[in-house]
Amino acid sequence: MNKIFDNITTIAFDADDTLWENENFFRDAEKEFYVLMQEYATKENLEKELYKREIAHLPLYGYGIKSFILSMIETALVESKNTIKPDIISEIINIGKKMLAHPVLLLDDVEPFLTYLKSKNYRLILATKGDLVDQERKLEQSGLKHYFHHIEIMTDKQSSNYTALLQKLDIEPSEFLMIGNSIKSDIIPVINIGGKAIYIPFHTTWVHEEADAKSLQKINYLELSRLGELIE
């Protein structure tokens, strides 16, 4: 690995869109939702209201598909002025069920890279946020669980959350490397506590996870197009 990472002993991975696909399914679900709701509201209004509901729900329900389903249902009620047909509510719930039942699709290079890191005696951690039950399901189905020394499903990814994780596992920030696809959640908070980070962007990102340009000017991190580049 690059010399700036020579003192790293512990490497943490985000899960969704770093190890396996996730955001694609939300975008597909939104498209289905907009079609269902086309007699009640424009796509533009639905987009605005859905995002507003998603953000409002984060403190109550956290991240994940179940919170997303509730946001779609509330949006349907608001945009229809409570005249939404019951069968459309049923269809929205079915969209969520399809998302929860979707098979886990690993991204390129994931297993070879984890195998390589294990052979180099790094301590590997899964540090991801989302719904506990859904993330545990995906981890089991992925076949990757045995690679990780510790699994942390976090309610949020602020600097304080990473500090608590490192203290719990007795890890110095200078020995900690985070790899993920979100500048806002995986990169900035880790850099701010003295850790190191590698950004591997996914082709689509939820608006809430995008970082502003001013934030990026203040941090130093490595950006790669895929995990396999680190081996190479």
Domains of the chain in sequence order: 3-20+104-231 (3.40.50.1000), 23-101 (1.10.150.240)
The first and second tokens of residue 173, run together, are 């920030």
pTM check: above 0.95 = no
- Please give the distance of CA 177 from its chain centroid, rounded to a whole number: 17
The first and second tokens of residue 120, run together, are 């180099």
The first and second tokens of residue 95, run together, are 């969209």
Length of the chain: 232
The first and second tokens of residue 57, run together, are 């729900």
pLDDT, one tens digit per residue, over 95-138 is: 999 999 999 999 989 999 999 999 999 999 999 988 889 999 99
Residue 189 CB: number of other CB atoms within 10 A?
Answer: 21
SS3 for 198? Answer: strand
pLDDT, one tens digit per residue, over 152-204 is: 999 889 999 999 999 999 999 999 999 999 998 999 999 999 999 999 987 66
Element (H, E) at 46: helix 43-61
Rounded mean pLDDT, 205-217: 54
